[in-house]
Amino acid sequence: MTLTHNLSVKQAALAIGVCESLIRDWCADGMLPHYRVGRKGKRGKILISTSDLAAFLEQLKIAPAEPKFVNSSTSSAPGPLFSELDSKRLAKAWLTR
């Protein structure tokens, strides 16, 4: 095992801009690899390696979605919005209000 730089829960939270409770939740849920350092039978201190934190963040990364452009010349999409509305029916509904 190679020793790397480890962060406390508070340091990890500050490093990535989240609250400490979220870091603790990720550790408790087994999502974020961490070390528990302390005496047997005690809770101990949570330490998170910087490389594990960076790898975890990469897993959370969401790639940008492809833009959804409609090319009107090749598309079978209907014409302008509301092109199928019946103008006489709309006028009648408006006047009967």
Over residues 53-78, the pLDDT tens digits come to 999 999 999 988 888 776 655 555 55
- Helix, strand or coil for residue 35? strand
- Nearest-angstrom CA–CA distance, 20 and 5: 19
Over residues 12-51, the pLDDT tens digits come to 999 999 999 999 999 999 999 999 999 988 889 999 999 9
- Nearest-angstrom CA–CA distance, 66 and 96: 46
User: Regarding predicted confidence, which is higher, 81 or 36?
Assistant: 36
State residue 95's pLDDT score. Answer: 82
Distances (CA, A) of 82 to 3, 69, 79, 90: 65, 20, 8, 12
Domain residue ranges of the chain, discontinuous segments joined by +: 6-60
State residue 47's pLDDT score. Answer: 97
- Does the domain formed by 6-60 have CATH 3.10.180.10? no
